[in-house]
A = this chain, B = another copy of it.
Amino acid sequence: MIHSEKRATIHDVAAMSGVSITTVSRVINDNYPVNVVTKKRVNEAIEALGYRPNLLARSLIRDKTQTIGILVPSIENLFFSEVIKAIDGYLSNLDYRTFLCQTGGNPLGEETMVDSLLNRSVDGIVVVDPRTKLIKSGFYEGLTRRIPLVLINGYNQGIRCNFIINNELAGTTQALEHLVLQGHKHIGFMRGKKSYSYDIKEAMYVDFMNKHQLEIDDMHLFQLPGGNDLETVKLAKESITQLFSNSTNMTAILCCNDFMAIGALNGAKTIGLSVPGGLSIIGYDNTLISQISEPPLTTVDHHMSELGDAAARRMVELISSKSAEYKKIVINTDLIVRGT
């Protein structure tokens, strides 16, 4: 297939309207005075030729590409896709385009993508769920001195970077307090294998239970081998059915994400355990699956859109150099009480 029709350049416009390319440039950018009649002639030529500036050439000299890179472990994750939507939505209005980069959730992938984006002269990089290893190794601290950088989650104390983070502490507390208020004393906790956010939540859970003098026995703590995907649903379901096939005094459980909570819900249904009568379940993330389950899931809302919005806003600030310090912006959580 041949795609030969060449685009008109600024020279073509200049030739047709009988002026220099300098004047054409001025008309386009409207940054210097140009005679009204000349301007009209130029605009007519632009129209006639269907001329559009080549942004590559413009970027080369301006050293700005109006382009932002977004790094994300995987796009089809419900949590990530909503964040991306928000970031891109915000930046799109400001005439930025975004490069979508899937890293596969491993450090090498992130480094490779960052390299690729730097070579393409992006104006900034947003990393969703950056690898802890790269944060601690100083990789991102080095990067943020070269280019505007915003990290979403993955916060670590003392790292000189710009962070937008969820308030995992508050979210976990809200959920647990809700359960205690409902009269629950035997509250379980379900987490995935390794993730910074699971660690924070677990620490918070243990802390909370101790403070309220509620017991935590081995039966209360679930560590699933999986993480945040479909497999997790099955694993969670099995865990719950197994637990209740033995005997347990557990009457409520806090799950680290909605997949786990759905799994727990399905497990309870399978063994005829009523929810929330026999078992109260609280999820985390407020993804769409929490709204379509029956009954709909009580869950902690991260406000993912706000997270993305905040990241995009911060990015624009950094680009326009309005801010000279590293900020940590915390997005609040809300407990969404539904039917479980």
Contact = CB atoms under 8 A, between A and B. Distances in A.
Nearest to A269: B294
A333 interface: no
Given A3-B148, A84-B75, A119-B53, A292 B291 contact: no
10 contacts: A1-B324, A3-B145, A5-B145, A75-B85, A76-B78, A97-B116, A97-B117, A97-B120, A230-B291, A292-B293
Contacts of A146: 3, 5
Interface residue tally on A, bucketed by range: 35 or more
Given A266-B294, A291-B230, A294-B269, A56 B100 contact: no
Nearest to A118: B52
Nearest to A65: B56
A48 interface: no
Interface of A: 1-3, 5, 7, 52-57, 59-60, 65, 70, 74-76, 78, 81-82, 84-85, 88-89, 92, 95, 97-102, 115-121, 145-148, 230, 233, 259, 262-263, 265-266, 269-270, 288-289, 291-294, 318, 321, 323-325
A289 B291 contact: no
